[in-house]
Structures are given as C-alpha cells and as structure tokens.
Structure 1
Amino acid sequence: MTTSPHLLAAPRLLACAIAGLLALGACSKKAPPETPPRAVKLITAGQTNADTGETFAGEVHARIETSLGFRVAGKLQSRSAQLGQSVQAGQVLAQLDPADYRLAEQAASAQVQAADTARNLAAADLQRFEELRKQGFISGAQLEKLQAQLKANDAQLRQAQAQAQIQGHQVQYGALRADHAGTITAVLAEPGQVLGAGQPVFQLAQDGPRDVIFALPEGAQKSLPVGSSVRISNWTAVSTEMQQSWTGRVREIAASADPITRTFTVKVGIDAPQNAAPALGSTVRIYPPEAKQAQALLLPLSAIKRESQGSIVWVFDAQAGQVKMRSVQTGAIVGNAVAIEKGLQAGEQVVVAGVHTLTDGQKVTPYEGKPTADNTSASGS
C-alpha cells in the first residue's frame, strides 16, 4: 500500500505553522505600564514685606576679645577650660608643670637666708669694732670698711628678697587665670605641648557690649560713615513677621582695604545689652539707612532652576495634575529666599524641591507628608 506524498507533508506543515506562531508571540512586546504621578512638595506664592534693597552679612563678636597666654614658658600640664565655656574673672583655665619653678623658688628662699645671715654677721662685727674704736684699738679706716661691708650685705639681702618674690610670681604665673568674665571662643594649645612665654592658649570674648563685623565693598565706605545708624536682623528671617531686629551705630571703618578681598572692615556697635543682643558668633544682616521695605513675592532658593536662558520655576496645574515650566525674573536675595519680580502671580503653587529632575508637562501629585503616629494608630483601630 503506497502513502500519498500530500499526507506525509501535512504534519511537517503543521509543525512549521506552530513554530512560526510561537516565534511571533515571543517577538511581540507588552506595552509598559504607565508611570505613576510623582509626588512633589509645593508652596503657595504670596506677597510679604521684605527688605529688597542692598544688605550686608555680618558676624557678632565681643567688643573686646583678648588672647590669653602664660607669662612664663613651660610644658602645659592640664587644661580645664573648653571651647564655648563661660568663665569668670580669676578662674583657673590651664596649668603648667610647676616642678622647675618650685625648685627655683626654693633656691631663691635659700639665698635670702644666706644673705640675711651674712648681713647679721656684718652687723655684729660692726657693733664690736665700734666699741674697739672708742677704746682706740682700731683706726677709723677699719671701722669705715666694716660699715661699708654692712651696707653691701644689706643690699645683697634686699636683692635676694626681690629675687625670691620674682620666683614666687613665676610659680603663680604657672596657673593661667581669666582676667575678665567671658566666653572661650578658641583653644590654641593642648596638654603636653611646650609653650613659650606669651604664646596664646585661649581666645576670650569678654562679657559686655557686642559688635557686628562685616565687609564693605570698595567705594561704598562713604555711604556708611562713622556714626551712621543701621538696622540689624537675624540671618534666617525671610520676612518682617519672622525678624528679630536691633539697632546699631557704625563705630569703626578700616582706614585701608584688605589687600586680597579689597573690602573695608566695618564694626557696628549693637544698641542692646548682652542678654538681649544676638548670640555670640551668629550671622546677622545689616541694613544701611537707605534700605527700604516693600511688598515682594518671595520663593525659597530651592524652587529656582538656573538655566542658560535665565531662571525658571515649575508651576503646578491642579486641574491637569501637571507641572508647567515658567520663566521668571528674580530680584534681591533675602535670607534663604529670592524675590520674584516678573513671571509669577500670588496664589500660584510652585514646586520647591527636586526642580532639576522634572520635565515640562510631567504628571505629579502634591506631597502630603508622612502619616503621624496618631493617624496610624487611629486607622488601625
């Protein structure tokens, strides 16, 4: 019995068709899932009172700052004062190794005893020879010699006593004491270090009036003469509602510009007692007399994206759930914020974080923040 060639070819054709369908299925790609909207942090732009004129940044210092050091040389044995510590007048801050100075003090005391003994012996000899002179047993020249010897012994005793006092002072100078009440602003030596006489160990900001020190650009010193009244505010304030303000007067302007920065150092005395003045070392803002307050639209610096064509912000479209790129014109920087002069209206919502990773028209959702512990427990119950 013979088999038809068509019947033999049928299974082969069926296998080829199945293999082709499998290959087509493997080559076809599934459509990627839609990216979920990204959560963004928003802020609503609003008008506020702000100083948009020229301002300067300064640092609060004590009016009198002194370098404290030992009056004698030696090895630093201990240091009790720490950086930032408040100290009182007369408080011991550090101590040198006193061994050598105590030995020198003992040697000076021994010299006093020796000089006192020699002086007493010379006085006794003079007294005896005065009796002999009255009796005519010695000449007047001999008596005068003994009188001169007593005077020399007196001088040697006074010299030894003065030297003993000096050595006693040397021992006392081995303890470094604060000469005024204040705050330690720098520590310049550690125990075990060998110090020279007068080498600074601490920097002390004395209690009392406070100054603000800042740099004035070259050419601007005439606009802020000595005696000018200025306003001072804390650095972190971005509006008048958040400001702590003080007044001050220009006390001193450097006679010459810094050779590197070409700026003039200015010192402004703060018209406030120490307990009401800004904290020592804090950064403050100085407003010259011509600085004016005005309504300004302020945004955090993190909301601004700098590009070659200018500054842009991302404005949130609540209806479309998207962010739109918007070019803006920026003005003065006020603390950690910048004034927006053109391109934005009060009431619009702007992205304030991650502005460098967004694209125009990107789908976003407002960031609501993490749930608190109270909210979590309430939902679980």
Structure 2
Amino acid sequence: MKRLGLLCAAMMLVACSEKEAPPEPVRPVLSVTVKALNEESLGRFAGSIQARYESNTGFRVGGRIARRNVDVGAEVQKGTLLATLDPSDQQNQLRSAQGDLARIQAQLINAQANARRQQALFDRGVGAQAQLDVATTDLKTTQASLDQARAAVSQSKDQLSYTELRADHKAVVTAWNAEAGQVVTAGQQVVTLAQPDIKEAVIDLPDTLVDQLPSDVVFSVAAQLDPSINTTAIIREIEPQAQSATRTRRARLSLAETPDGFRLGTAISVTLSSAIKPRLELPLTALQEVDGKSRIWVIDTQSKTVSPRDVTVISRTEHSVVLAGGVENGERVVSAGVNSLKPGQSVKLDEDSQ
C-alpha cells in the first residue's frame, strides 16, 4: 500500500509538469502610427500683411496745416482731398501778382498807343526816327514784362493749389506724420498712402537663418486669428543688411494667392519649411537598445501582437529619433513600455500618443 501511494504521487507530479505554462498577460501599450516626413520645419515667425507699393506724400509748399480731411484706414480715390494748409500767404502772393499784371497791362496799352502815334508822325515826315525807335523798344519791353507778369500769376495760382494735398491714386491711408496746427516744410512727409491692389507678407528673419535658407524654401502664411485663411509665398526681397539692434533682416514675400481675410495690417504667422528626402521620425521612447543594436516593436493590428524589428538610427534628439528605414509608412509602433515586451505578446492598443 505504501508503495502504491508513492507511485500515485509520482504520477500526479509528472502530470502537473506536463501542463502548459500560463499564457503571457495582455499588456496595454501606447502606440503611434509611422508617418514619413517630406518637409523640414525651419521655424515660425510673426509678421503682417502690407502693401507692396507705398508712397510718403507731403505738401509742395511749406505752411501750417489747417485741416486733416481723412483718418488712418480710410480708403481714398484719386484726387481726394487729404489735408490743407493755411492759404493766407499764397493768396496774398496771388493778389500781388495779379496787381502787377493789371499794372503792366495798362502800361502796354500806353506803349501801344505811343508806338502808333510815333509811327504816324514818322510816316507824315514830321516825326524823328529816334523817337520811333524809343517807342518801339518801350512796346517790346512792356510786352515782355506782361509775359513775365502772366507767368507770375500762373505760378502763384499753382502755389495756392499746392496748399491742398490730394491723393495721386486710389489708396488706403496707413499713417499720418503731422497734425492740424503743425508747421511743415515743403516736401516733408505728412501722410503714407498704400496701394491696396497688390499685397505681400512682411516678416523679420534672423540674420543667421537668412544665410542658410535653401533655394527651395517654402513659406506657409496664415492669419493668426483664423489659421484657415492661408496661402503660400516665395521670397521677393530681403534687406541686404541686418538691423543693428535686433540682428534681423526684413523679408518681403510674394503671395501665391490673396484671400479676402488678408487685409492690410493683418497679423500673420509664417512657417518656413524645406523639402527633404523622406524620413521616418518616432518618439525616443519607442527605441530599445539591445546588445548594441537599435530596435522597435511593431504591432500587428490584426492579431494584436508585437514583434521586434532592427532599425538604423540617423539622428536623435532629446525627444525623438530619425530612422533610415526598417519600418513602413502607416505601420503601428509601440511608443512606451518597450522594455517589458516579448515577441508574439498580445497587447491592448491605446490611442496615438502623438
């Protein structure tokens, strides 16, 4: 009996050892979908929408500004009165010139009458040639003085018209540099007019970045308040020298399109990117180092299992790695918890961690 008991116990131990090991537990994991990168971001900068063509306008004569007729932001047509000077001096000059003209016109009438009398006397043989010559010369001199007086009147009228500052073209008033009551000189900048038909994006770029911009750089321009209003742009002009205070250079970008939301002065966000050879970027936590080799864990989305795969790392940062290959665009990769996985282990997928 004792032997029979020992035999039964031995058989029970053998049966237990032949049972299969319990299955690996299903592990919940974070994962990301692999996406190939075709562009490299070079930075994001703030700027504004401005008119390509602006003109700084001033009065053609000096004086005291009597009135401003429009405000900043006003749309004006060609010939619109923008501002006026006190015209008192120019009016006085015009009246003086007109008085001189009237006086010389009276002198001309006398000179013409005297020349006719001397000619008549000379023709009858009772007048002297010298007196006729003097009368003829006086007539010509008075005629020249009349022409000069008429030119002076015309000039005075022009000077009076210059006391009115009018728009030369359809434009938007973007700045006033003088106020009513202020005395300005001829040619001094008073108002800035922008032609609204052609707009462009204006940003300030670091001097060091400008020298490294590739020829195929792409600018994405979007309104800061509504990013859905966007377009692309190319470089039209970059200042040749950096500003001493900020070490930046102003860049003007030609817009591919001009959405209605891009009004003058609209604040914009400009993103710089450049086309690159397609590459794969993953979170640094998705990488596992084993025996000097780098590998990742790829998820079979059908069976919900994982398998390791060796990869080649091009570069890495504090948070990400760039791979030369080893994984395809669209595949799903474990992004956290890779050190506790085993080949063929079942996993529970969570949402993308990106």
Q: Is the 8 A contact 1:209 1:269 kept in 2?
A: no
2:125 alignment counterpart = 136
How large is the Cα RMSD of the aligned pairs?
3.6
Residue in structure 2 matching 1:285, options 247, 261, 269: 269
Q: Which residue of 1 aligns with 2:66?
A: 77
Partner of 2:101: 112
CA distance in 2, matches of 1:186, 1:105: 33
Report the alpha carbon displacement of residue 346 of structure 1 after superposing the two structures with TM. 6.1
The amino acid that maps onto 2:247 is: R
Contact 1:270 1:277 in 2 (8 A): no
CA deviation vs aligned residue, 1:49-99 (integer Å, no higher than 9, x gap):
998542332221111111222211222221121122222221112122222
Map of 1:15-94 to 2, 5 A cutoff? 52-94=41-83
Higher share in strand? 2
> How far apart are the structure 2 equivalents of 1:228 and 1:57?
17
Distance 1:232 1:123, change over 3 A: same
User: 2: distance between equivalents of 1:278 and 1:224?
Assistant: 26
Change (3 A) 1:209 1:181: same
Partner amino acid, structure 1, of 2:260: A
Q: Deviations 1:244-287 (Å, cap 9, x if unpaired)?
A: 222323221222222332222221122335x6361211222333
Aligned to 1:171: 160
Report SS of the residue matched to 1:266: strand
Equivalence for 1:198: 187
In structure 2, the CA distance between the partners of 1:295 and 1:103, relative to structure 1 (3 Å rule), is: farther
Percentage of matched positions with identical amino acids: 29
**1:226: how far off?**
8.7
Gaps of 5+ in 2: 1-31, 284-317, 321-334, 337-349
The answer to whether the 8 A contact 1:62-1:280 is kept is yes
Deviation at 1:130, TM superposition (A): 1.2
Distance between the aligned counterparts of 1:296 and 1:175, measured in 2?
67
**CA distance change for structure 1 residues 64 and 295 in 2, over 3 Å: closer, same or farther?**
farther
Name the counterpart of 2:205.
Answer: 216
Are residue 245 (structure 1) and residue 230 (structure 2) matched?
Answer: yes
1:264 aligned residue = 249
Structure 1, gaps ≥5 residues long: 1-45, 298-328, 332-341, 349-381
Q: Do the aligned residues in 2 keep the contact of 1:251 with 1:268 (CA within 8 Å)?
A: yes
TM-score with structure 1 setting the length: 0.58
3-state DSSP of counterpart to 1:108: helix
| Aligned pairs for 1:307-346 within 5 A | none
Alignment TM-score, normalising by the size of structure 2: 0.62
Counterpart code for 1:157: L
- 3-state SS of paired residue (2:222): strand
* Range 124-133 or range 256-265, more displaced: 256-265
The equivalences for 1:227-246 within 5 A come to 230-236=219-225, 242-246=227-231
One-letter identity of the residue aligned with 1:194: V
Out of 138-147 and 288-297, give the one that drifted further.
Answer: 288-297
Residues 229 and 112 of structure 1: is their aligned pair in 2 closer, same or farther, counting only changes over 3 Å?
A: farther
State the match for 1:309 in structure 2.
none
Taking the aligned partners of 2:122 and 2:217, their CA distance within structure 1 comes to 84
- 2:293 alignment counterpart: none
Contact 1:226–1:252 (CA<8 Å) still a contact in 2?
no
* Structure 2 counterpart of 1:246, one-letter code: T
User: Could you say what secondary structure the match of 2:260 adopts?
Assistant: coil
| Aligned amino acid, residue 97 of structure 2 | A
Give the Cα separation in 2 of the matches to 1:111 and 1:225: 70
Contact 2:41 2:273 in 1 (8 A): no
Structure 1 CA distance for aligned equivalents of residues 101 and 245 of structure 2: 58
Whichever residue aligns with residue 136 of structure 1, its letter is: G
Assess if the C-alpha contact under 8 Å between 1:230 and 1:288 holds in 2. Answer: yes
CA distance, structure 1, for counterparts of residue 81 and residue 216 of structure 2: 39
Aligned residues of 1:209 and 1:270 also touching (Cα < 8 A): no
Corresponding position: 1:255 with 2:240: yes
CA distance in 2, matches of 1:226, 1:114: 73
